[in-house]
Structures are given as C-alpha cells and as structure tokens.
Structure 1
Amino acid sequence: MVEYETLKLIWWVLIGVLLIGFVITDGFDIGTANLLPVIGKTNNDRRIMINAIAPHWDGNQVWLITAGGALFAAWPMVYATAFSGFYWAMILTLFALLIRPMALDYRAKIDNPRWRSACDWGLFTSGAVPSLIFGVAFGNLFQGFGFEFDELMRSHFSDSFFDLLNPFGLLCGVISLTMISMQGASWQALRSGAPVQERAAKMARLLAVVTIITFAIAGVWVAGMPGFEITSAIDPNAAATPLSKTVTVVESGRWISNYSEYPWTLIAPVLGFSGSVGVLLLATTRFHVLTFISSSLAQAGIIMTAGFSLFPFVMPSSSMPSASLTVWDAVSSHLTLGIMTIIAFIFVPLVLAYTSWCFYKMWGRVHGEDIAKNTHAY
C-alpha cells in the first residue's frame, strides 16, 4: 500500500482539484446569477442568460457536494470542526443555494412580471451569498479561527459568525465575488447571443481589472500579516493527533515562505494574475473560448495560491495555535485513505469524461430568436 504521508498529500491535492472544479464549472452558474440584474436589461435578455447555463447548472453543483463528501471522509476533524463552529454560515450558504433550483424551475411557470422579478432576485441571492461566504471563509483561514480542543478532543469555538466579517475576510469575499462573476461573464460572452454577449464581454473586462487589483492587495496584506508555523518535529506518517505538535505565531512573512522554499509554487499566483490579464485583453475580441479559458485559469490560480500559502495548515486556530489542523494530523486512517484513493482514481476520470461529453452534446450559442419562439423554456 502507498505510504501514509503520500496518501495525505494525494488527498490534499484531490480536495483542491474538487474545489477548483467547482469554482470553474459551478462558478459560471453562480457568476451568471450574480450578473443577472446587471447584464439582463429585459426579460428576454435574462432568459438568454439563464438558458446559457440551464443544461449544466445541476451537474456542476455536484462538484461542491463531492468536495464536501471528500472533506468528510478524508479530513473528518476539519469537517466536524468547521461545520459545528460555523453552523450559521453553512446554513446561510445552503439556503441560498436551495433558492436556485426553485427560481430556475418555477420562473417560467407563471406569466407575471412581478413573479419573474422575484425569481430573478432569488437567483441573484443564490449566487451572491455563497460567493461572498466562500471568500470570507478562505480569508479567515489566514487569520486563524478561534477554536480549541478539550481533553476529549471536542472542539469549542470562541468566534461567532460576525467575527468572520473582518476587513481581510471581507476583502477576500470581494475577490471571490469578483472572480466568480468574471467566470460568469466570460461564459455568457461565450454562450449567449446579442445583446447579452456584448454586455457580458465588457463586464468581464471590468471584473478582470477589479480581480487583479484586489488579488494584489490581498497578496501584499498576507505578506505582512502574522502567520502560523510548526516549530516541533511532526511525523507525516503518524495518525490523527493534532495536539502532539507545537505551533507558534510568526509576526510576518510566514504565508509567503512556501514560495521561496518551493519556487515552483509561484505558478499559482502567476496563473491568477495572467489569467485575469488574459480576460482583460481578450474579452472584447472574437476569441471568447480563449477568454473563458483565461478566466478558468485565473480561478484555478487564485484557489491554488491560497492552498500553497497555507500549506501544511488546513484550519489554523488563533486561540490555541497547537490545535491547528494540518494536512499531517487531521486525516482519516491509512486504510480509509487507501480505499478512497482507489475509488477516486477509478471514478474521477469517469466523471470528467461524462461531464466533457455533456458539454460537447449540449454545446451551442443561445440566441434571442430561439428564446422568443419557446415561451415554456426557462
């Protein structure tokens, strides 16, 4: 069987891949919802936008469900600690996501402008709320959460939901909202016809500028903020024993130290910036496929930047640093990870192949004439 240390690294990578897959695919669904009141000037425009994501949105959401399941199976302590400590944030996100299928499915059932407007604002809420909360959560990882473990390894939180809404957390929320909206705008420029296509292309350029600026500000901020560092020997092949290590708080520079120790990790922020620049340069040209690819690379780069910066920490603790959960000590057993790895290497390629086939079969641009003929579509 593969070494325990290697399996831990494999699952750190796989969970990252699932999060990136979610942001790239469901990101254009959520981004479209965020932009619905901005780009969709008329009911026909909004129907074009909705039908551009209609064939894929439910399948794309599976990436988030799979990531949650993988988190539960591979990092049960992280899952339990996060979900118990931030129950209200999770519930708010869940209820926001639940609005989307109802708003999509029932929007066209009643021919009433007020009803359609209510569904459209419901879709906007279903996109904006998760976008913000995901970013705020990632921002707070760099600052640490206020939790600790007792002698029975039960977690106790001192932070509340409103403690998450600090300046750096909100900045990361803005980055998340902007980059996901950029993904939605790039998708609409690729899949929608006029006049939505032109508006989406211009919006993608604007969002790319905001993403570049806020991502750069966050990078400078992270470089100067306190970070966490493991200062005792830790056995990467040991079982889940988070309290067996010593963690100290370093005044500054910790969250960028991995880039000097492992220079190849610089590919992440480079992708984040270059992908956004690609959107800025390509969005208003005819190269809409390249624009969407650039936006997708930006999503992947920004997520990887967060992961590489935090490594090996998964969920740091600000109130009890030695209780911080890491890649090495917050995982399932060797046997569990081994079985999960076999399953993942069989089914992840199948899921990717099936998803690619679905996109291939349902490809095409949504035009206003087609929407006008079919009054019973979304």
Structure 2
Amino acid sequence: MIDLSTMQVIGWVIVGATLLAFALTSGFDSGIGILLPFIGKNDTERRLALNVIGPTWDGNQVWLITAGGAVFAIWPTVYATAFSGYYVAMLLILWSLFLRPVGFEYRSKLPNQTWRNNWDIGIFIASFIPILIMGVAFGNLLLGSPFTFDPIFLRMQYTGSFIDLLSPFALLCGITAIFMVITHGSAYLNLRTKGIIKTRAQKALRMFAWLYIIAFAAAGILIAYKVPGYILGKSIASINDPLANHVTRQVGAWMNNYHTYPWTILAPITGFIGAFFAIITAQANRSIWPFLGTSLIQIGTILTAALSLFPFIMPSSTDPAHSLTVWNSSTTHHALTIIAIVAVIMVPVIFCYTTFVYIKMWRDGPIHEKDIERGQHILY
C-alpha cells in the first residue's frame, strides 16, 4: 500500500491537474470573452468570436467545479478556510459568472444593437472579473492569508477584509492572469477563424504575450527579492493538525524549492518559452503553433505558482505556525486512495470524450463572417 505522505502528494497533483485543465480550456473562453467588445467592430464580427467558443464553453466551465470539488474532497480544511475567508471574492466570481450563460443564450435573440452591446459587456464582465480575482487569490497565497485557528476548537478566524486582498503584488498577479488568458484566447481565435478577426487576433496575441512576459518577470523578481516567503520546519505536522507546524518567514523563501530541486526551474522557463514561441509563430502566420505556445504559458505559470508554494497550500500571515500545508490539511489515507483510483479511471475518459467533441467541432475548419451571415437564426 502507498504510504500517506505519497498519497498526499498525489492529491496535490490531482488538484493541480484540474486547475491546469481549467486554465487550458476555459482560459481561452475567458480570453475571447474579454476581447469580445474590442476585437469585433460590428455585430457579425462579434458573433463570429462568440461562435468560436459557443459549442464548448459550458463544458469547459465544468473544470472549475471539478477543481472546487477536488479541493473539498482532498483538502477539506483548505476548502473551509478559503471559502470562509474569501467569501466576498467567491461571491463576486459567482455573481459575475451568472452573466455568461444568459449572455450567450439571449444576446442574439433580439436584433436591437443596444441590447446586444449590453450583453457583450456582460460577457466581458463574466470573463474579466473571475480571472482577475483568481489571479489575485494566487497572489495572496504567496503573500499569506490573514487567518488563524482557535487552539481549543480549531475553528478558523479570518482576520482580514476583502480590501486587504487587493495589495499591489496581488493585483500584479491578477493582471498577469488577465494577460495570460487574453493571449490564450487570441491564439484560439487565430486557430479557429479566417479573415479580419484572425488578423486582429494575431496582433492581440503578440501584444499581450509581451505584456505577459513583462508582468510574469516582474512578479518573479518581487518574489525573489521583496515578497516574504514561508519555510516549513523539518518535522512534518500530523494530519489535520494545523497548529503543529514550525514555520518561519523570510524574503526570498519561495525560491528555496528551485535551489533544492533545480529541475523545478523548468516551470517558469516553460512560461517564457511558450510566450516567445507564440509571438514568433503568430508573426509567421501559423495557426496551431501559437495555440500550443499559449498552452505552455498556462502550464508554466500555474506550475510556477504551485512549485513555489509547495508544500504550503494556504500560508497564514497572521500566525505562520497555523499555515495549511499538503501534510496537515488533507483527508484520510483511505479517502485519498479512493480519490486517486477515481481520478485514474475518469481522467482518461474525460480526455477521450473531450477530444472527440473538439474533433467534431473542428471538422469543418475555421469559420468566417460569411458562415455567421448564413446562420443568422441558428448561431449565437
């Protein structure tokens, strides 16, 4: 039987995999939603952008639910702490996401241009706000979250406010996430469209890829030389005991894993290589290669954050000793084993049917404005 600590790392991998799946799929959905009011100069062009993601956007959102379910199943203490402490932020994500399904379904029901423009703004909000807040959340994980635990009943007490989450570094992480998904969305438009939208998407891809490189590098410099990181003592805390940690804070501590395990430097390198590769191949008017490059951006960025934090999941800025780690916040060994078995069976199944859906959606090739004009009454 696999030992508990190994199963805890496997659980960490499972959560990371669901977040990567969300970034790779819903990332380009959100990027196109953010670009929507700007990349389309008339109603036909905007409908073209919407119908690029129309058949698959709702299925891609399932990965967000899956990620939340994985956190709940694998790290119940983290789930309770995050959803209680970040309650306002979670509600903002939820409320903004309400606009997405109704925006897609009702936008083109009326021919009135004001009606359609308003729904375009709603889809923009439903794409921009969740990604910004998620990026800010990752920034606050690196800074540490203001919470502590009651030493008798182990009840979590959140000692901050929503405004406290909006620090300059956290906002930089949010902006980096915005640039990341816009670049990904631009690459998908470049892959799936023809004509003027494809040309504009290539320009947007090159511009936002450069902005991503600058923001990602700036965040890395701050993490190395400005932001205090957390160091876990040698003794591993017992399961479900967030008070048994020995944690210290030190500027540059988030770089320790890169010194201890030099191979982890491949994560940020992957992000930068993906951005440069996307820029070069978009300039060469390629279709699939820029999308592969922006996919590397998603993978490299999320892995950089995850590997920098490990083994921490939610460090506590109020009392570092109460930080939540992979070792002290997981569910039981039996539950982790069942979750791992389900993941091994279901992930390949999900991958296969998702691949099948995209192959079917792509069988007719890229779409053009003329396709939208021919399908006025059947398309989004």
TM-score scaled by length of structure 1? 0.98
Does the residue aligned with 1:176 lie in a helix, a strand or coil? helix
CA offset at residue 231 of structure 1? 2.3
1:339 corresponds to: 338
Task: Write out per-residue CA displacement over residues 331-362 of structure 1, whole angstroms, 9 at most, x where no aligned residue.
Answer: 00111101111111100110011101100111
Match of 1:83, as an amino acid? F
Does the residue aligned with 1:73 lie in a helix, a strand or coil? helix
Does the residue aligned with 2:111 lie in a helix, a strand or coil? coil
Is 1:230–2:229 an aligned residue pair?
no
Task: Write out per-residue CA displacement over residues 293-352 of structure 1, whole angstroms, 9 at most, x where no aligned residue.
Answer: 000011110000000001110000000111100011100011110111111110011001
1:291 corresponds to: 290
1:204 corresponds to: 205
Q: Over the residues paired in the alignment, what is the CA RMSD in angstroms?
A: 0.9
Distance 1:288 1:135 in 2: 28
1:374 corresponds to: 375
Match of 2:293, as an amino acid? S
Distance 2:25 2:234 in 1: 40
Q: Is the 8 A contact 1:103 1:123 kept in 2?
A: yes
Q: Tell me, which stretches of 5 or more residues in structure 1 are unaligned?
A: none
Counting matched residue pairs gives: 375
CA offset at residue 143 of structure 1? 0.8
Q: Is the 8 A contact 2:135 2:170 kept in 1?
A: yes
Q: Is the 8 A contact 1:132 1:174 kept in 2?
A: yes
Is 1:191–2:195 an aligned residue pair?
no
Deviates more, 1:339-348 or 1:280-289: 280-289
Where do residues 164-313 of structure 1 align in structure 2 (5 Å cutoff)? 164-224=165-225, 225-234=227-236, 238-250=238-250, 252-313=251-312
1:24 corresponds to: 24
Distance 1:192 1:95 in 2: 31
Distance 1:124 1:179 in 2: 16
Task: Write out per-residue CA displacement over residues 213-260 of structure 1, whole angstroms, 9 at most, x where no aligned residue.
Answer: 01000000000121111125115xx4221111211111x221011011
Task: Write out per-residue CA displacement over residues 130-165 of structure 1, whole angstroms, 9 at most, x where no aligned residue.
Answer: 111011000111110110000211111111111111
Does the residue aligned with 1:314 lie in a helix, a strand or coil? strand
Distance 2:322 2:168 in 1: 25
Distance 2:246 2:234 in 1: 5
Distance 1:230 1:2 in 2: 24
Match of 2:286, as an amino acid? F
1:109 corresponds to: 109
CA offset at residue 288 of structure 1? 1.4
Task: Write out per-residue CA displacement over residues 185-211 of structure 1, whole angstroms, 9 at most, x where no aligned residue.
Answer: 100011012110000011000000000
Query: 4+ residue stretches of structure 1 with deviation over 6 A?
Result: none
Q: Is the 8 A contact 2:245 2:323 kept in 1?
A: no
CA offset at residue 284 of structure 1? 2.9
TM-score scaled by length of structure 2? 0.97
Distance 1:74 1:126 in 2: 28
CA offset at residue 55 of structure 1? 1.2
Distance 1:200 1:371 in 2: 18
1:351 corresponds to: 350
Q: Is the 8 A contact 1:227 1:253 kept in 2?
A: yes
Q: Is the 8 A contact 1:232 1:245 kept in 2?
A: no
Distance 1:17 1:310 in 2: 16
Q: Is the 8 A contact 1:198 1:284 kept in 2?
A: no
Distance 1:29 1:266 in 2: 29
CA offset at residue 14 of structure 1? 1.2
Match of 2:374, as an amino acid? K
Does the residue aligned with 1:61 lie in a helix, a strand or coil? helix
Match of 1:229, as an amino acid? I
